[in-house]
Structure 1
Amino acid sequence: MGLLTAGLVTLLGVPVSAAAGAPAPLYVDKNDAGCSDAGSGAQAAPFCTVAAAAKVVGPGQTVRIKAGVYAEAVTVDRYGEPGRPITFDGGSDVQSSPELSKGLTLSGAAHVVVHGVRATGGVKVGRSTDVELDRMDISRGRAEAVVIGEGSTGVRLTRTRLRGAAKVEGGSRGTVLGRNLLVGVYQSALTVVDAPGTVVTNNTLEGMCGATVSVGGGSTGSAVFNNVLHTNATSVACGSAEPRVGTAVSPEAAEGTRADYNLITGEKTLAAAYTWSGTGYRTPAAFQAATGQGAHDILTASREGVGDMPGSPTIDSADPTAPGVLPSDFAGDPVADDPGVPNTGKDGGYLDRGAHEVQDGLSEVWMVIDQTYAPAGTPVEVQAVSNSQWPTTMAYEVDFGDGTAPVVTRQGNGANAVATHVYTGPCTCTVKVTAVNGVGKKVSTEKSAKVTAAGPLTAAFTTEPVLPATDSPMDGVRPLTIRVDAGSTSAPWPVERMYVDYGDGSPAQQDDTRHTYAAPGEYKVTVTVRDTKGAVSTATRSVKVDYAPSGYVATAPFRLLDTRADGTALWGGSPTAVTLPAGLSVPDHVLSGGMAAAVLNVTVTDASEDTHLSVWPSGQPRPATSNVNVRKGGTSSNTVTVPVGADGKVAAQLNSGRAALVVDFVGYYQPGIGRRFSPIAPTRLADTRAAGGALGGGQTRTVKVAGTAGIPADATAVALNLTGTGATENAHVIAYPDPAKRPATSNLNLEPGKDKSNQAIVPVGPDGTITLYTNTGSTHLILDAVGWYGKDGTALFNPTVPRRLADTRTTGKLAPGATTTVTGLPAGALGAALNVTATDSTGPGFLTAYGYGTTRPGASSLNTRPGDTVPNHVTTPVADGRVSISNSYGGSTHVITDLLGYFTQG
């Protein structure tokens, strides 16, 4: 037992090097970008190689080696001190431990521990003292995986897997091999030569040639106990035809050498189970009769049924007093007494033979809590059971998680343990059950128990808008969607049902906490809850539902609808639904199903009479507003910003008559994504009358729009007022970003003799430009910027169901040179999207919209024409909730202003 004690100095407890006052650990991590062999080896600056640490490590110090393949031959030649060893630690998980691919050598070392390291280049120990190799994985092809020699003393090889033979030689003394798994490749598993006092205890050894364990030379006083020795039939790969033997002890080694409590397999293929002092013995009985050794050995025909499995003859049949016995096995499990197996070991001991100690399979414990949600003062019962396979009494410790002492109960295996507790106050407590078997192995499980305050069920709830995910333009969350959260309900007992009346006439929804409204507004939402005891409570509150502030997503324009293509037409008084695209339904476009508002260019053509078109969110009442005014037989277009209906559509309706409708998709607004808007006073960017000359049919012209006139170079889109004048033919104009990809859309429809305007929001193309194109004739074009979109923009857009702000037809015409003030905008609005209409004009001229109280710019927002009703989408700054609209000196006119939405600080 003296050898055993020596072997356990650091094996089973906390390494001495971790004790208080020990030197700081050294670290090795080849995968750390900051590693250096010239550094200190601190955790923040580890060594790159193990060899670097091995050169400087001192007594009581630990080298912590991180996982990785270290392609280096490592030699350790340093000394620790008794009780203060040098430790090389690769961690507790051998499967992911660091690998020394070129081997490990301990030469002239003393008081050294190597733990948790893989050595695929083998291990050699020479001229060393008090060395421990524990929980390792060692291999070296067909050569010996481990060689201990050159007079080494006190070397301990424990709980290690060896793929290759082990050899103890060269006058080494007091070597201990315990709880190892060893496979000798094309040779004996273990060879001991000239190594007195070698102890081989509780190993599982497999030899392929000759003797599985061979003790020869002057290896007197050795011990071979509690091992499982697997022998194989003679292999053609063996170097000689040496017959197969379990244990071989030469005449020179027999003096003082003892062997007992071993199990040998392969009875029918063995030349002899033993050779001892040159004589062979076929059976343990013959061996014991002749030598007095092996009285408790077992010989089996094959290895079937032998090992770490129920029913194995190795269970509880070893000698617990044998030299070198360890209290834990190859896997680190403790010595266990299987209650279903007689204790046939020495003196009634229950140690198992071989490297493994068979356990009862305890790995899991389950619990059921009868009240996982109940008020304080309610008895709570916990039932627990484990998967222990041994017929022993199990101890169950139930910690109810409120600071009270755990309840301990004992039950026979397979029976439910029951513990009851009364909580005195509310908590969300974690109940933990720990099951302990007869050998002290523990498993645990946890569940949560909610303990509430006693009292009546009282419904309460909050609401929040449900918005599309900020990182997914494919998100399909519709606008005007809210979520109800009844988590603030005071519920002593669990709520089993919840009903929500969303206050819009739709049926009450059971357990449905998400709802999309057809229109913005103020709604009375009622939540009714019922608990498991039958109590019912109701709460009601007013909830304001509106479109959320949104950023702008610029897209390359594309044609969405053209009723001329299929011969259909719009008829006055009958709305037409326009479905907005989502996902990948339009080639080369990724469009969100969660858009809050769409920006469209809407054209009405071939009108059968003077009429106007209104566009609004689908599913909502038609507003008393208009977007496009057109004369009989004429063509008129306008940009429309319109909120999206709950069904993903917008509605369009002619006031009267019949006409064709063309809708081009320009872009959209959505919460959480897109760019913010910065309104600016109308600023002229281009005027072909002053430079460049008229744009001819079929021609293009690029205009710089970003990086000029106060618009930053990284703007993603610009809002422009596009005016055509001096057109020679009926034509259309397209504004687009990429000069190589002209879309089949239009922004402005021209007529000879008429100045016509339309606002356009155009993505910025290459080098901060946009491209202009007209299909026929020639025309002059004027571009006035009214704002830009970008990552540094200031405002988000608040979509609004179209509503009328002002109409001078009830107050009198706006005289030439006069200004009218439009009110009704929120005080915090920075800008607004308006539909401004001029009608009953007495002369040609133009209107300019700008922020109230600011200097009127020289640019125009729309052109007035006698006899025509002219609308235009106008984006303008807002000041103090007001907008000014100024009339030029061309003639008096009526001005109608409709609100499409407004911008607020993001």
Structure 2
Amino acid sequence: MRPIRAATLLTAGLVTLLGVPGAAAAAETPSDLYVNHTADAHCSDAGTGTQAVPFCTIGAAARIVAPGQTVRITPSDRYDGYDENLTIDRSGTPSKPISFLGEGVLLGWDNSLTIKGASHVVVRGLQIDSNLRVSGSTDVELDRMHISTTGFSVTVADGSENVRVTRSTLSGVRIEGGSQRTVVGRNAIAGRHDEVSASVQDAPGTAITNNTLHGDCGSRITVDGNSTGSAVFNNVIHSHTYTTCAQDQPRAAIAVSPSAAPGVRSDYNLITHNSSDQVSAYKWAGSAYTTAAAFQAATGQGAHDLVTPPGTDVDSWKDSPAIDSGDPTAPGVLPTDYGQRPIADDPSIPNTGKDGGYIDRGARETQDRLEGVSLQLDQSWAPAGTTVKATAVPNALWPAGLTYHFDFGDGTAPVVTKAVTAEHVFKTSCECTVKVTAVNGVGEKVFAGSSARVTDPAPLMARFTATSELPHSTDPFGGTRPLSVSVDSSGTVTPWPVAGVDVDFGDGKSEHTSDLSRLSHAYGLPGEYKITVTVRDTRGGTSSASQKVRVDYAPSGYVTVEPFRVLDSRATRAPVQSNYDYWVDLPVGAKLPGHPLSGSMASAVLNVTLTDATEDGHLTVWPSGQSRPATSSLNIKAGGTSSNTVTVPVGPDGRVQARLNTGRAALIVDFVGYYQPNAGQKFSPVAPTRLADTRTAGGALGGGTTRTVKVAGVHGIPADATAVAVNLTSTGATENTHVIAYPDPAKRPTTSNLNPEPGKDKSNQAILPVGPDGTVTLYNNAGSTHLIVDGVGYYGKDGKALFTPVVPQRLADTRTTGKLAPGATTTVSGLPAGAVGAVLNLTATETTAAGFLTAYGFGSARPQASSLSALPGLTVPNHVTTPVGDGKVSVGNSWGGPNHVITDLLGYFSQG
């Protein structure tokens, strides 16, 4: 902004008007006094008003304040403020005034302030809900006050001299009683409905300057009696009659009586009113005038007054006729406005004030509203040596008056300019932050920044890293699918911005991005893949890079859930049938209320049941998106019911597939639990050990009854185990039935673990959450059956091994080597050397006599427990968890007939 041309005149005018001569500074300034009656202030009116022990009331300070002292008042923490009527009657000197400072301090409801017989007093920042009266006092400054009351907020009376009422919010002000040289400047005065906003009565030399006055009925400014030398300048006067006024009320913005008119000057005022004919702009010496032209012609006053037509917006920050149109040399002009802002020149408005001045009319001085700035770079990514152009976009009222400081962040000196743009050549590469500071004429500043990537002027060269992506331990319900790989191409050397990136994942799938962002891809099958990344820049450059990655399932912990049913094709009337794949959706997240599942599970543990089969056959379950393996998960006889636990990796779409090799059957799938990297519990295998046998204790389990079995805290399984792996066997069943094993005896699920049949010993492995006191509950639906429970391992905080899923694969098949004779043992190899346990699907077929198979760790003693019940003429599978020794598993045949044994690997446990 340009400096105020009339600053010298203003200063001289104020000194002359107010009669306040300059004085040399005092040799010694007395200590301040403090007033603070907040709860923790420890105040006392008996003290001396120090900051440590302040006065409790303002009056206590007012009674002792000495010349040159300042009373500093802390705002009250009480609803009624400082509840006291205050009188100030002590005086300072011209060089040592006494001051009362209290920004936002409430004097109290209905409490008044009187300044009586005092001189050289400053009162600033108080809020009063009553009246303030200055009586017989000299050189008094009332500044930044907020006084709201009926009648006049401030009355200056009884011959007071040189009183200044400035930059305050008032309901009205009255100067009377021979008071002289009073200044009312830069105030917002809102007169009551029928009250005068500013009244001068027998008060010579009064200056009503740069105020904004509002009101309805009555006059806004009145001057009467002996008020010689008074002046009314630079005011904005809103004189409206939106309500009906009494007929005898004067209705003029400025009303000067015949007795006062000869000694009063009035000019540069702006008057706005509505279309009512009840109001006049002026009433001067008894005559009314509705226009400035008529007023000037008759009186010689108001040559620069503006009387706006109805509807004119004179309060806007843009295009108001009050802007830059006042008289900077008017009596009582202040250098700062109602909000303490300096006089400023709006460069977008012609300076129509006196002698080309640019002070605004009214209490408020229009300023450059500098609210913000943004920064744009024409090239935010370019090689060193390139010219970069920065453009500032300000949000300011007067953008033409701003100065910009452009700092390009590379250590060079900022560019200071009035232009909104600056150019710069970066000499070396950097990740620089370009900043701009916009400054207006009164020193207000706003900032903005933008990142600039300055690269070496080298050829485009694609680079990337490919790493296995695992779910984070702090986000167990995330969505990182198994066999995921993260491809990060941020290491690409590219001097110009990237136009596009294409990633070929090597499995027939690809993805396109517009930048060097990280991509995640889930493969459908473990293996080695060649990933190729191709990068194109905005200048037409192209570069590719390739590398091979090995994708495998990651070791995982076991997450226990309450068993629940996810599929029953009897309800959907969509049985599985030969030559058709059946997809089983696993309800990730909250799809199934009460049973949330992680989107990051690597392998699911399911109990799969077939029933109502039309032919003898077998079912294979495998990860979706993969080719069907040459293994089986479950075998079925026509018309029969068969179930088996299946541990199967989850496909990249969160599903598994199933296919029946012949005929059709109803499919039932119960969800038991899942394995996930960085989640769940580790597994500890144990040599098969018998936990319960109803043939020797308790008797057969009848239909509709339950039996509690202790499974933790016994036989080497710790009491704090969260789940146990058991082999569940039924024998002596009297009816076709089903058995459910579950943790909470009060919450039996609608799932099943075993389907006993009369005349058949049947086995199925189950992973069971541990219930109260280390128990599980067994329920038999119909008839009666004996149940045998053999523990094979447990999951818990002191577990030793994590599970690594594999695509189901066949390890051994005695149909190519000869049957396993009764009492004989076969060794199954092909497991990783570090495996301590294995999850197998063990199948007995072409059996000639009833018996059982037992799987156990190679090199260990054969336990007296069963892993699978073999039946003559039937093919019987079972899910088996067993210890491993030296990468091998032993499978022993019992006293029954010879069997062919088929061993399929579903996964293995290793320490880590």
Return the letter of the residue paired with 2:483. Answer: L
1:243 and 2:250 aligned: yes
How do 1:266-415 residues align onto structure 2 when only pairs under 5 Å count? Answer: 266=273, 268-270=277-279, 273-274=282-283, 296-302=304-310, 304-308=312-316, 310-322=318-330, 325-330=333-338, 334-339=342-347, 341-358=349-366, 368-383=376-391, 395-410=403-418
Give unpaired runs (5+ residues) of structure 2. Answer: 1-10, 18-30, 44-53
Q: Secondary structure at the match of 1:528?
A: strand
Residue 74 of structure 1 contacts residue 103 of structure 1 at CA under 8 Å; is this kept in 2? no
Counterpart in the other structure of 2:764: 758
**Cα distance, 1:243 vs. partner?**
1.5
Moved more, 227-236 or 599-608: 599-608
Mapped to 1, the partners of 2:828 and 2:153 lie a distance apart of 97
Aligned positions of 1:455-494 closer than 5 A: 455-465=458-468, 478-494=481-497
Residue 596 (str. 1) matches residue 596 (str. 2): no
Which amino acid in structure 2 is aligned with residue 263 of structure 1? L
Q: Is the 8 A contact 1:557 1:736 kept in 2?
A: no
Q: Indicate the residue corresponding to 1:212 in structure 2.
A: 220
Contact 2:462 2:535 in 1 (8 A): yes
Secondary structure of the residue aligned to 2:738 is: strand
In structure 2, the partner of 1:554 is: 561
SS at match of 1:731: coil
Counterparts of 2:392 and 2:819 in 1: how far apart (Å)?
A: 86
Residue in structure 2 matched with residue 201 of structure 1 by the alignment: 209
Is contact 2:601–2:676 with CA below 8 Å preserved after alignment? yes
Secondary structure in structure 2 of the residue aligned to 1:560: strand
Residue identity matched to 1:641: T
2:558–2:673 Cα contact (<8 Å) kept: no
Match of 1:899 among 895, 902, 905: 905
Residue 727 in structure 1 maps to residue 736 in structure 2: no
* Residues 635 and 287 (structure 1), Cα distance of their counterparts in 2 relative to 1, 3 Å cut: closer
Q: Partner residue of 1:13?
A: none
Deviations 1:779-830 (A, max 9, x none): 2334455566678978765432223456677699598597968663473x67
Residue 269 of structure 2 corresponds to which residue in structure 1? Answer: 262
SS at match of 1:210: coil
Structure 1: give runs of 5+ residues left out of the alignment: 8-20, 29-34, 40-49, 91-97, 412-416
- Once the two structures are overlaid, the 10-residue window that deviates more, 888-897 or 745-754, is 888-897
**Alignment: residue pair count:** 850
Work out whether 1:824 is the aligned partner of 2:845.
Answer: no
| Inter-CA distance 293–560: structure 2 relative to 1 (3 Å threshold) | same
Q: Which moved more, 1:533-542 or 1:805-814?
A: 805-814
* Aligned twin of 1:495: 498
Paired position in structure 2 for 1:422: 425
CA distance in 2, matches of 1:626, 1:52: 92
Q: Measure the CA separation in 2 of the matches of 1:230 and 1:855.
A: 107
**Structure-2 change in CA distance of 1:808 and 1:660 (3 Å):** same
Deviates more, 1:342-351 or 1:717-726: 717-726
CA distance in structure 2 between the aligned counterparts of 1:25 and 1:832, rounded to whole angstroms: 83
Structure 1 stretch 590-599 or stretch 470-479: which is displaced more? Answer: 470-479
Distance in 2 between the 1:61 and 1:800 partners? Answer: 84
Judge conservation of contact 1:148–1:172 (CA < 8 Å) in 2: no
| Aligned CA distance change for structure 1 residues 607 and 143 (closer, same or farther; 3 Å) | same
Q: CA deviation at 1:460?
A: 0.5
Q: Say yes or no: does 1:225 pair with 2:233.
A: yes
Aligned partners of 1:72 and 1:103 also within 8 Å: no
Q: Compute the displacement of 1:645 (Å).
A: 1.9
* SS at structure 2 position matched to 1:748: coil
Please identify, of 431-440 and 226-235, the stretch whose mean Cα deviation from structure 2 is larger.
Answer: 431-440
- One-letter amino acid matched to 2:240: N
Which letter maps to 1:562? Answer: S
Tell me the alpha carbon deviations over residues 193-251 of structure 1, each in whole angstroms, 9 at most, x when there is no partner: 8999876432221022322135679999876432101112384477x942123235689
Contact 2:102 2:125 in 1 (8 A): yes
Cα distance change on mapping 1:36 and 1:567 into 2, 3 Å? same
Q: Equivalences for 1:560-571 in 2 at 5 Å?
A: 560-562=567-569, 566=573, 568-571=575-578
In structure 2, distance between residues paired with 1:873 and 1:897: 10
Cα gap change, 1:631/1:297 in structure 2, threshold over 3 Å: closer, same or farther? Answer: closer
* Alignment partner of 2:546 out of 540, 553, 574: 540
Structure 1 stretch displaced more, 203-212 or 542-551: 542-551
Structure 1 residues 541-563: Cα deviation after superposition (integer angstroms, max 9, x where no partner) = 12232345465262441151436
SS in 1 for 2:220: strand
Superposed, which structure 2 residues align to 1:575-614 within 5 Å? Answer: 575-582=581-588, 586=592, 589-591=595-597, 595-605=601-611, 611-614=617-620
| 2:150 equivalent in structure 1 | 143
Distance in 1 of aligned mates of 2:331 and 2:876: 108
Cα 1:636–1:355 change in 2 (3 A) is: same
Aligned pair in 2 of structure 1 residues 294, 825: CA closer, same or farther (>3 Å)?
A: same
Q: 1:776 to 1:390 in 2, by over 3 A?
A: closer
Whether contact under 8 Å (2:821, 2:893) holds in the other structure is no
1:777 aligned residue: 783
Relative to the length of structure 1, the TM-score reads 0.75
Q: Is the 8 A contact 1:71 1:100 kept in 2?
A: no
* Distance in 2 between residues matched to 1:451 and 1:581, nearest whole Å: 48
Question: Deviations for 1:15-60, whole angstroms, at most 9, x for unmatched residues?
Answer: xxxxxx99999999xxxxxx96779xxxxxxxxxx99999999999
User: How much does 1:491 deviate?
Assistant: 0.7
In 1, Cα distance between equivalents of 2:791 and 2:307: 99
The letter for the 2-side match of 1:777 is G
Larger deviation, residues 475-484 vs 349-358: 475-484
Identity of aligned residues (%): 52
In structure 2, how many angstroms separate the alpha carbons of the residues matched to 1:435 and 1:284?
Answer: 42
Between the aligned partners of 1:752 and 1:180, the Cα distance in structure 2 is: 104
CA contact (8 A) 1:172 1:195 kept: yes
SS in 2 for 1:347: helix
Matching residue of 2:805: 799
Deviation per residue, 1:486-507 (Å, 9 max, x gap): 1100111122232222112346
Higher alpha-carbon deviation: 308-317 or 456-465: 308-317
Matched, 1:844 2:847: no
Q: Residue type of the partner of 1:228? A: V
Query: Where does residue 676 of structure 1 map in the other structure?
Result: 681
Is 1:524 paired with 2:530? yes
Question: How big is the shift at 1:637?
Answer: 1.4
1:847 and 1:716 map into 2 onto residues whose CA distance is 25
More moved, 369-378 vs 78-87 = 78-87
Structure possessing the higher radius of gyration over alpha carbons: 2
In structure 2, relative to structure 1, the CA distance for the partners of 1:598 and 1:55 (3 Å cut) is farther
CA distance in 2, matches of 1:789, 1:621: 32
Change (3 A) 1:590 1:175: farther
Kept in 1: contact 2:37–2:55 (CA 8 A): no
**What is the CA–CA distance in structure 1 between the aligned matches of 2:314 and 2:220, rounded to whole Å?**
16
Q: In 2, Cα distance between the equivalents of 1:629 and 1:858? A: 26
Alpha-carbon contact 1:841-1:894 (below 8 Å) kept: no
